[in-house]
Chain A
């Protein structure tokens, strides 16, 4: 059984990390685009007002300004919602930040379908694919507030650009204050021998729920938290997949080009084996509660379990 440690926003962890980083490193600068309260950069702003810039409702300017700031030897955090950072400002992220290999950490909130009632215009379901396709960009999707905090602190000191995707919802806490984040390493959450389930973000919890259910049917699912989608932990994934012989990927993102896409590319070249991809399928999001949407788009633990079962038959 998964231990119940309560619920918390991943973005709370982001706010904590920024305060820690700001305290110890004067090079840390934070930029937002009129969403400081939502993204939690407000807390940094209150503590270090001279190192915070609100760019207003102008995400393209946010990203290009972040790039310019980074050339003056700053570690720049640029925050807004996932959809605006990656969609609205894609060209600036690609050309100004990544092509220039600048130290801009794009830390976004409100990624995925669980944005809920605001509907499709605010639900980023393509952002991981967009960011992953850009050379030099690192992509991390933390599963809870502690992982978010540690991931943000980690990418702060990895040279070049990074994308950290967080959510809107309170999600189950999986780790604790002592959690050590290992960038680029898939984290074993539950060992198993029959099938490998790879998940990121809030879907890690769903995958663990699915594995609990499968255990009652005698299926031992191995669950890996693939918090770092780029660079991909090739060895970790291949090792697990070669033992279990089947892989399920889970993400609140389109199956085209995200975590599932990344894993399919790897397995297709190195270890072709049966695979199921849990995610949205070439569809826009829609309004609804997060819970309803998870069900509506087939992202629940029962859908993951079904996918896993179909590989073990």
Chain B
């Protein structure tokens, strides 16, 4: 492959020490959290909990793993990303803005009439969004379609999809799981943001997913489990997924609302914006972290 770009602050594990990578990705994550809280706070609505839980995952994908080019979002050799849990759009918007896909000021117009940044990702409005998502259980299927298309074109590009644990109650997730395994879509990597909470409460109390790792293994996927807030663990898992001869599932154990004490593991912040006072408190907390 001729061009090889990784975000605006791309990192190469081989040329960079692990501690340096950790520092960079943790700083990126901190910046993303700040932007997420502020954009949802200013919008007055949105989903902070599930956006904050997948921050490190997105930071590692966009600033470590994926080949992409913010100056040319349609660059044919790019790796593709699908946010299947579309309500975590603020996390995606924050990382796209940080990479330079669009002006950071767009973040402060989130969810407003005429905004580039819709409540859920819209590929027609937002540079860098591959697939419009928001209705749960569909993004992984779309990622399968992308992987099939890339394979037909003999493209070396890879496809990454982030799905939710609550979302995994959708049957479509498992339809996609079967299709991907049947076709040995080894260029497909799914990351489960396993934060344990959904709107109505704990996932295990609503409809328990049970042994989710065993389920994915039984569906024929290569499965790894990581601490979803440990950037080095995520990076290593993403690298190992390159070697898989089957589709890969990385189960990232995460904390909903991670990084803001009063949002952590608090189901109320699944789909509720912080008040202006809460927003200020949260931003200060992130700055001090």
Which residues 161-195 of B sit at the A interface, judged by CB distance below 8 A?
171-172, 175-176, 178-179, 182-183
Residues of A near B15 (CB, < 8 A) are none
Query: A53 interface residue, CB < 8 Å from B?
Result: yes
Expressed in whole angstroms, the minimum distance between the Cβ of B244 and any Cβ of chain A is 20
Are B145 and A66 in contact, with the CB atoms below 8 A? yes
**How far, in whole Å, are A95 and B143 apart by their CA atoms in the complex?**
15
Q: Which of B28-36, B54-62, B149-157, B260-268 contacts A (4 or more CB under 8 A)?
A: B149-157
**How far, in whole Å, are A64 and B180 apart by their CA atoms in the complex?**
13
**How far, in whole Å, are A50 and B123 apart by their CA atoms in the complex?**
28
Are B153 and A68 in contact, with the CB atoms below 8 A? no
Task: Provide the main secondary structure of the chain A interface.
Answer: helix
Are B130 and A71 in contact, with the CB atoms below 8 A? yes
Residues of B near A55 (CB, < 8 A) are 175, 179
Expressed in whole angstroms, the minimum distance between the Cβ of A88 and any Cβ of chain B is 11
Query: A297 interface residue, CB < 8 Å from B?
Result: no
Are B148 and A65 in contact, with the CB atoms below 8 A? yes
Are A74 and B149 in contact, with the CB atoms below 8 A? yes
Residues of B near A91 (CB, < 8 A) are 135, 138
**How far, in whole Å, are A99 and B146 apart by their CA atoms in the complex?**
17
Query: A101 interface residue, CB < 8 Å from B?
Result: yes
Query: B209 interface residue, CB < 8 Å from A?
Result: no
- The residue in chain B whose Cβ has the minimal distance to the Cβ of A91 is B135
Query: A61 interface residue, CB < 8 Å from B?
Result: yes
Query: A100 interface residue, CB < 8 Å from B?
Result: yes
Query: B134 interface residue, CB < 8 Å from A?
Result: yes
Are B146 and A64 in contact, with the CB atoms below 8 A? no
Residues 69-89 of chain A, each 1 if its beta carbon lies under 8 Å from chain B, else 0: 111111010000000000000
Are A72 and B132 in contact, with the CB atoms below 8 A? no
- The residue in chain B whose Cβ has the minimal distance to the Cβ of A61 is B175
Of B132, B147, B179, which one neighbours A100 at CB under 8 angstroms? B132
Of A63, A64, A92, A99, which one neighbours B122 at CB under 8 angstroms? A99
User: What is the size category of the interface that chain B forms with chain A?
Assistant: 20 to 34
Of B124, B145, B146, B172, which one neighbours A60 at CB under 8 angstroms? B172
Are A65 and B176 in contact, with the CB atoms below 8 A? yes
**How far, in whole Å, are A66 and B175 apart by their CA atoms in the complex?**
14
Query: A120 interface residue, CB < 8 Å from B?
Result: no
Expressed in whole angstroms, the minimum distance between the Cβ of A160 and any Cβ of chain B is 11
Of A51, A58, A66, A68, which one neighbours B143 at CB under 8 angstroms? A68
Query: A151 interface residue, CB < 8 Å from B?
Result: no
Residues of B near A69 (CB, < 8 A) are 145-146, 148-149
Of A51, A60, A70, A73, which one neighbours B175 at CB under 8 angstroms? A60
Query: A274 interface residue, CB < 8 Å from B?
Result: no
> Closest 3 CB pairs between A and B?
A68-B145, A72-B149, A64-B141
Other A-B pairs beyond A64-B138, A64-B172, A101-B124, 17, CB < 8 Å: A60-B141, A61-B141, A61-B175, A63-B141, A64-B141, A65-B179, A66-B145, A68-B131, A68-B145, A68-B147, A68-B148, A70-B149, A71-B131, A71-B142, A71-B146, A71-B149, A92-B172
